[in-house]
Amino acid sequence: MADEKPQINSQPETPGSLDIYRSSREYKVKQGFRNMTPKKKLMLLALPILVVAIGVILYFTLAAGGDPGLQLVWADTANTVNDMSLVCGAKEQKMDILVDNNVGENIVSAAAFIKYDPAKIEVTKIDVGKTDFSQGEGDTTASAPGTMQKIDNTNGLVQVVRGQPANDQGDAFTKKAGILATLYFNIKPEADISATTTIFSFSQADPNKSIIVLKGGQAVDPEYENSGNYGGIIKCCINPNDECLPYEYCPNNNWYNNDPNENIRCCREKCKQGLEFYLFEKEKTVEAGEAFNININLRPDYQPVKEINLQLKLNYYSLVEPLSSGNIIFSGGVSGTATYSNGVFAINIKNYQTTNNVAATLATMKLVAKEQGVLSVDFDPAGTGAIAVDGSKMETMGTGGVYTIVLKRIKLCPSNELVTNVGYTDVGFNLCVTPGSDCNIEIKGATSTTVVGTGISTYDGVCRANTEIDHEIQVQGLHEGRAYSYDVVCDGTDKCPVRLKYQLDESGTQHIVYGALKMSGNFTTLSSQKLDIREQKPSNVRASSATIEWNTIGGPNGDGLADSVVCYKKVGATQYETLTNANLINKHSVDIFGLEEQSKYEAYVSSLVTNTTVTRGSDLCNNPPASLCPATVPAKSCATAMATFTTKSLESSADANVILKVSKDRICDEWLYCNAKTQVKVTGANPEKYEDLCFRVGKCNKMDESGNCVSIVDEDKSAMTVESPKKVSEIRNLSGYSKVGINWGKRCLNTGRICSSDSDCIGGAKCTEAKIDGFYPYSQMAEVGVPIVIKNSNFENGIPNPWESWNKGVIENYNYENANRVLKIWPSGTFQGAIVKGVSNKTVSKGSYVVSFWAKSDDENPRDIMVELAYGPEGKYSYVPFKYYNEGSNTAANFVTLGNVWREYVVSLSAKELSGYTGQLNLVIVQAAGRVSSKPFYVDNISMKSVLELGDNMNYAARSCRLYPTETAPACDYYDSQVGKNYKGWKGYCVETDPAYQNRRYSSQPMCLMWWPVDIINGESNIFYKDPTAIGYTGRKPLYYCLEAAGNYSRTGSLST
């Protein structure tokens, strides 16, 4: 049987000397000692001490209560190691083996056997420099074991046996506590223990049992805290899932779990700050032939950098147009040189001036995509670095980017989508694509791969980017009421093939080839089936009214379109009342009025698919439900259902539908009418129908029998402000479409008393004009401003382009509180911010330029910004500021003061200030020289389209969204890449907002009480009839906006309407 005692130390032997060593006397002595039990070893060690003290052994007895103990404490603090919190990879951890709780005992030797998990812990040294037990071996390591002191990192066991000789008085170790030895250990790099686990423990069983021998030879079992077990956790990440910041580095690359595919990575040492060079955007998809920019950035930009060297390597650089040093454009204020060779840019920037900002753009790499493929751009560490102001080399890192180049794709035309017109045995497809191309359609069964129908529409023109072609494809021979899938593929013609290279046409002109457009979907053909009523229910039940709702599906035509009939009565009554609607609809809603409060009613609903041969009879509610669907109508065309409800009490239900008897005592005296309009065809109307779209309004007080204005009222373009109280009677009949102001004259600010100067006011108060300015009449409000389109004005595409950093300002497309994308601007000094170049290539001599935008600051204190037009040669711009009217000071200033909440601003600039200049205009938004801040500010929805002039003193209303195209629309206009569709909302001018909802929050806008009553404003397209479902607005009706109602106006008594 094998020896059950574990080998404490298994050190490799030299094969050539092993046998000679085993035959030596020294080996045999050591083997004999090794085979002794721990108690015999201690007795052997203590023998010289016992011989010296033999005369006094019998004199001493065990007098104190409790035995001495062993415990582990931290060498630096003497605190217990229990509940320890360790870190993966930590080196040279130290703990003392402590003999304690010695009360009145005389200890001659002690043996400590300590167990641990060798997969987590590596013990490196037994240090006896501080020991209180002088008898024993010196310092011991794992590679140089002793006889009494051993480290076994294979089995996880430390052995320390030491003694203390008696002194002249016969005493050995009598202190209350003393150090046996100090253990040094390392924590393994992957030793992750998340839950508290025993890490070290004293062995308390043979053959490696920890014991203490007292003077006189008595061996005692030590006492232990926590039963001799010491637990804790080992964290490989101090903060789980945390790692160094992008511009920090891990010293010596000492990462835990340094695998980019893993979710956890942390530095085992404290991260140190360095410099990161990175590309923005780091990932992008562009089309062949498209120009795109890559910003070369640095962060943080507040370290003492003197010189920068960058080496950018472009892999597969043949995918872009030929390169040269001219592809690198340095940012304003950055002076550098660039060279190019074989796909490598070498950039040197001397005497770099930091901006004390979070990040800065050093240069921009301008590229043009050419071929399909993946271009990667990396910083070569060998040529990338930075020198500090003191001449030392700085720690740097580089983060490259990947840019996927794809073929230009054939696309749906703007504001177009694939339309399917499904019939019983056929289906039609309508779509518009650009550039012109062939379109093929395959129809398959919903669960089959067999093609059951095909269609094709060809285009024979030459491939051009600006060519649009409409396709109408009809597929017949399908089955009624069956589900199908379709695949639409629009690809090149013979003159515009789909290839992965450039194409020469007949004239030798080179064109970019376009990739195919592919779309898939499902549809179900119509079926002739029985009409069915679904989801019938009462709603809006009040004291005297209720609504009955239901839906119809199926029917002979498969569309559920049918008429509406309701037969209702109070439970217990004998007579049914009848309500009908002959319109064929599939969502039915019938209102019932004149009901009694707190009464139960029953109602039968019925729908019939009527036509020239199927009609309703008389006495519909004579005997429901039989009388609703008699045998004289087709069974599949008629359906009935029943619903019951109980009306509420008058007290519990405020009912606006209660009928009151009133006297009509007011008529409209003047109103707004449309004096500039156009007629458009209503899409899908049968018979053909046209309606008016209004562009401008006027004032009218008389119309003919056809509703046309025959008496136009002329109005002056002046603010409607009246004196109070002299002329208040003049406005008592005006409606909400007359925004009238009141002038109370000069008043003291503290008392409101009439005054002529400050001396008339008590308490040192000011005498000031007390006036609320009115607006212009609606008929005199006009749009002002040269219409200019700014790309990416709402930043919903996730990138800042075409906006660029200006004068070392740092910009970012920022997801504000995860609710709305805005442009974030960090200025560290004056006139730093953002620029968008080339907003216009010409100037005008008359009129004005306007800019509207939303903005807020991160600074709680007010700060000033400027909006300017920059013109002239790049690098030598001249600037003209826009003006903003400050209501507090009643003056127009060259700056805008931002607060800490979102607010909309409109600034303007007279075209005369650009007199004599005819070149390109650039829009700049920067921090002004007044009240400055180093904190960022935000801008959004930047527009240079015209605004509505409401009144004097630059009183403007910017355009806003009257109706969003979808419930989840991120903006009034947006492109949904998932469905390949452009959505356009209905824009207008809000003349008066709800005072209870003024502040914008994220992407929302203030609630509007009054809109300028025109259908289409300057610069916007007709969204009403081209595709009504794209905006969700149908069923327009002509409206009359009353301005003044003349009649027997009275303040008292009578109820008027």
Calpha distance 78→721 (Å, rounded): 85
Chain centroid to CA 822 = 11
In this prediction, residues 953-961 reach a mean pLDDT of 87
pLDDT at 675: 77
For 135-148, the pLDDT digits (tens) are 999 999 999 999 99
Query: Would the pLDDT of 728 be above 70?
Result: no
pLDDT at 610: 87
Please, which pLDDT band fits residue 505 given cuts at 50, 70 and 90? very low
Please, which pLDDT band fits residue 1051 given cuts at 50, 70 and 90? very low
Q: In terms of CATH, what superfamily is 543-646?
A: Immunoglobulins (2.60.40.10)
Please, which pLDDT band fits residue 130 given cuts at 50, 70 and 90? very high
Calpha distance 654→635 (Å, rounded): 43
Stretch among 56-65, 400-409, 454-463, 597-606 having the lowest mean pLDDT: 56-65
Q: Higher model confidence: residue 212 or residue 169? A: 212
Stretch among 129-138, 367-376, 918-927, 1003-1012 having the lowest mean pLDDT: 1003-1012
- Which of 329, 326, 59 shows the shortest CA–CA distance to 216? 59
Please, which pLDDT band fits residue 198 given cuts at 50, 70 and 90? very high
Place of tokens 């000033």: 864
pLDDT at 540: 87
Show the tokens assigned to 527.
């079926």
Q: Higher model confidence: residue 17 or residue 916? A: 916
pLDDT at 404: 93
Please, which pLDDT band fits residue 247 given cuts at 50, 70 and 90? low
Which contiguous run of DSSP H or E holds residue 443?
strand 438-445
CA distances from 202 to 182, 227, 499, 744 (A): 15, 9, 76, 93
Show the tokens assigned to 1021.
């397209």
- Which of 528, 525, 588, 585 shows the shortest CA–CA distance to 555? 528
Fold entry, domain 34-235 = Immunoglobulin-like (2.60.40)
Stretch among 341-355, 447-461, 504-518, 1012-1026 having the lowest mean pLDDT: 504-518
Q: Higher model confidence: residue 832 or residue 619? A: 832
What count of other Cβ atoms lies within 10 Å of the Cβ of residue 206? 11
Q: Higher model confidence: residue 902 or residue 1032? A: 902
pLDDT at 32: 56
Stretch among 100-109, 432-441, 928-937, 990-999 having the lowest mean pLDDT: 990-999
In this prediction, residues 934-939 reach a mean pLDDT of 91
Please, which pLDDT band fits residue 358 given cuts at 50, 70 and 90? confident
Helix, coil or strand: residue 423: coil
At position 36, the amino acid (one-letter code) is M
Q: Give residue limits of the domains in the chain.
A: 34-235, 275-406, 409-524, 543-646, 665-714+953-1057
Calpha distance 164→959 (Å, rounded): 94
Q: Higher model confidence: residue 1027 or residue 122? A: 122
Q: Is 309 exposed, middle or buried (0-12, 13-18, 19+ CB in 10 A)?
A: middle
pLDDT at 125: 95
Calpha distance 188→101 (Å, rounded): 33
Q: Higher model confidence: residue 780 or residue 58? A: 780
Per the DSSP assignment, residues forming a β-bridge with 571 are: none
Let me know if the fold of 34-235 is the same as that of 543-646: yes
For 334-344, the pLDDT digits (tens) are 999 999 999 99
Q: Report the phi/psi class of residue 1056: left, alpha or beta, with left for phi > 0 and alpha for psi in -120 to 50.
A: beta
Query: Would the pLDDT of 87 be above 70?
Result: yes
Q: Higher model confidence: residue 9 or residue 725? A: 725
Show the tokens assigned to 561.
């379109």
Calpha distance 953→849 (Å, rounded): 16
- Which of 969, 938, 970, 971 shows the shortest CA–CA distance to 853? 938
CATH 2.60.40.680, applies to 275-406: yes
At position 901, the amino acid (one-letter code) is V
For 554-598, the pLDDT digits (tens) are 888 878 899 999 999 999 998 999 999 989 999 999 999 888 888
Q: Report the phi/psi class of residue 465: left, alpha or beta, with left for phi > 0 and alpha for psi in -120 to 50.
A: alpha
Per the DSSP assignment, residues forming a β-bridge with 989 are: 959
What count of other Cβ atoms lies within 10 Å of the Cβ of residue 973? 18
DSSP output for 797-839? TSS-TT-EEETT-EEEEEEETTTEEEEEEE-SSTT-EEEEEEE
pLDDT at 824: 94
Q: To the nearest 10°, the Cα dihedral for 481, 485, 487, 488? A: 30
In this prediction, residues 839-847 reach a mean pLDDT of 86
Ranked by mean pLDDT, which of 88-92, 643-647, 1053-1057 comes out on top? 643-647
Is cis: bond before 725, omega within 30 of 0? Answer: yes
Sign, Cα dihedral of 552, 554, 557, 558:
positive
pLDDT at 691: 73
Query: Would the pLDDT of 445 be above 60?
Result: yes
- Which of 410, 446, 437, 433 shows the shortest CA–CA distance to 521? 446
- Which of 939, 938, 933 shows the shortest CA–CA distance to 828? 933
Query: Would the pLDDT of 168 be above 90?
Result: no
Please, which pLDDT band fits residue 971 given cuts at 50, 70 and 90? confident
Fold entry, domain 409-524 = Immunoglobulin-like (2.60.40)
pTM of the model: 0.40
Cβ-based neighbours of 265, under 8 Å, separated by 6 or more: 237, 243, 255, 256, 257, 258, 259
Which contiguous run of DSSP H or E holds residue 937?
strand 937-943
Please, which pLDDT band fits residue 7 given cuts at 50, 70 and 90? very low
Please, which pLDDT band fits residue 67 given cuts at 50, 70 and 90? confident
**Beta strand pairing call for 84-87 and 229-235:** parallel
Helix, coil or strand: residue 373: strand
Stretch among 690-704, 782-796, 1025-1039 having the lowest mean pLDDT: 1025-1039
Calpha distance 172→878 (Å, rounded): 95
In this prediction, residues 646-654 reach a mean pLDDT of 77
HSE at residue 714, side-chain half, CA atoms within 13 A, is 1
For 783-841, the pLDDT digits (tens) are 899 889 898 888 888 888 899 999 888 999 998 877 788 999 999 889 999 999 999 88
Contact 550, 535 (CB under 8 A): yes
Whole-angstrom Cα Rg for the chain: 45
Can you list the pairs that 78-82 forms with residues at least 24 positions away whose Cβ atoms lie under 8 Å? 80/225, 80/230, 81/200, 81/230, 81/232, 82/225, 82/226, 82/230, 82/231, 82/232
At position 281, the amino acid (one-letter code) is E
Calpha distance 747→30 (Å, rounded): 112
Calpha distance 532→529 (Å, rounded): 9
Please, which pLDDT band fits residue 707 given cuts at 50, 70 and 90? confident
Calpha distance 615→635 (Å, rounded): 13
Calpha distance 98→130 (Å, rounded): 11
Stretch among 90-94, 125-129, 767-771, 1006-1010 having the lowest mean pLDDT: 1006-1010
pLDDT, the chain, mean: 80
CA distances from 864 to 81, 374, 420, 835 (A): 59, 44, 54, 17
Per the DSSP assignment, residues forming a β-bridge with 69 are: 100, 223
Helix, coil or strand: residue 952: coil
Can you list the pairs that 57-65 forms with residues at least 24 positions away whose Cβ atoms lie under 8 Å? 57/215, 57/216, 57/217, 58/216, 60/106, 60/215, 60/216, 61/216, 62/105, 62/214, 62/218, 63/104, 64/103, 64/104, 64/105, 65/103
pLDDT at 336: 94
Percent of the chain with pLDDT over 70: 81
pLDDT at 54: 39
In this prediction, residues 607-635 reach a mean pLDDT of 86
Calpha distance 767→377 (Å, rounded): 68
Tally of helices (H runs) and strands (E runs) in the chain: 3, 77
Please, which pLDDT band fits residue 673 given cuts at 50, 70 and 90? confident
Angle at CA of residue 900, ends 898 and 903, nearest 5°:
60
In this prediction, residues 1034-1057 reach a mean pLDDT of 44
Cβ-based neighbours of 505, under 8 Å, separated by 6 or more: 462, 463, 495, 511
SS (H, E, C) 48-79: HHHHHCCCCHHHCCCCCCCCCEEEEEECCCCC
